[in-house]
Chain A
Amino acid sequence: MTSAFLSPVVASGLAIPLEWVVGLGLALFAVGLLGVACRRNILIMLLSVEIMLNASNLVLVGFSRVHSEISGQVFVFFSMVVAAAEVAVGLAIVIALYRLRRSADVDDAHDLHDVDYGPVPGLKLEGEPHHHHDHDEPEAQPVGATGEA
């Protein structure tokens, strides 16, 4: 296996060992993961998601070449469409968030996790009388919210 792994092949696209393509894809995915996990700027987090999507595209193209199957490249096409949709909606959320908070820092958007809503209510089984928190009730404004300020 090792000799075949290193032996030069004349055919152009097949000269590249698939293991290297997959390895490059994995490394790029790890870089993207690092960006999403360690950065707090929401724009750079979205860019890191793009890096991860591109890593998967590279692996798809690599397998498509080795198996001589065009469907892999069609999947890359679909993946690009999904990436475009994701960027459009993601950047719309960024703009809405910036309008509300004047910042591109994800930690400034903490309405859902910094407010203490009290202990988690226990599981209600069917048939038992319901808690009177119904969905049509207007949501109570949390104490720490700054959106209306």
Chain B
Amino acid sequence: MTVALFLIFGATALASALLSVTRKNPVASAMWLVLMFFGLAGNYVLLEAYFVAAVQILVYAGAIMVLFLFVIMLLDLRREQLESEPQPRLPFFGVAAAVLFIAVAAIALLDAVDAGVFPDAAARSTLELDGSAKAIGESLFGTWVLAFEVTGFLLLGAILGAVILTKRRLT
């Protein structure tokens, strides 16, 4: 049952990612990406990362997508401008890069499976994991508290950078 759900959510995520990348209209692209975020959130729930699943919906499908849609509508691209997207100068190399990446990754994955890198199902069937907000919070504000503080500065820098970049006159 879990595996079937994983496959359904995974197929949804993969298909909507492909549709999102191939749409001409950025609004349609963003909408398909929302579906991909939901598919991945479903997989996070199946992997018992409940807090991450909730944050995925809130931050990605909520905040980041709203920001994207806001900017897309702000730009107000004409229809003919969207329809006449020029072909990339070297489309072959883009596809070749993706295909080669898939090939190398598949070989590495199969090699890792053969070498027994992934823990055996029987050996890991007793492992417990608490993916609740409490467990994440204890780790975040315990072991990783320094990294957490640094992300505060990162966000501050991003805010300042975004404001300065979009200012009309820098005086």
Contact = CB atoms under 8 A, between A and B. Distances in A.
B64 A50 contact: yes
In the complex, the 7 A-B pairs of residues with the closest C-beta atoms, listed nearest first: A37-B94, A85-B158, A35-B21, A92-B165, A68-B127, A38-B94, A13-B48
B129 A70 contact: yes
Classify chain B: how many residues form its interface, as a range.
Answer: 35 or more
B129 A13 contact: yes
A70 B10 CA distance: 22
Interface string A38-60: 11110110111011001001100
A109 interface: no
Nearest to B93: A37
26 contacts: A11-B125, A19-B109, A24-B43, A28-B36, A32-B17, A32-B21, A38-B91, A44-B29, A50-B64, A51-B17, A54-B60, A57-B40, A62-B47, A68-B127, A70-B131, A71-B139, A74-B139, A80-B55, A81-B151, A81-B154, A86-B158, A89-B165, A91-B68, A94-B71, A103-B81, A107-B89
Interface string A86-114: 11110111111011000111010000000
A20 B125 contact: no
A83 B65 CA distance: 12
Classify chain A: how many residues form its interface, as a range.
Answer: 35 or more
Binding site secondary structure of chain A: helix
Nearest to B161: A89
Given A41-B26, A65-B47, A104-B77, A15 B3 contact: yes
Contact of B114 (A1, A47, A50, A85): A1
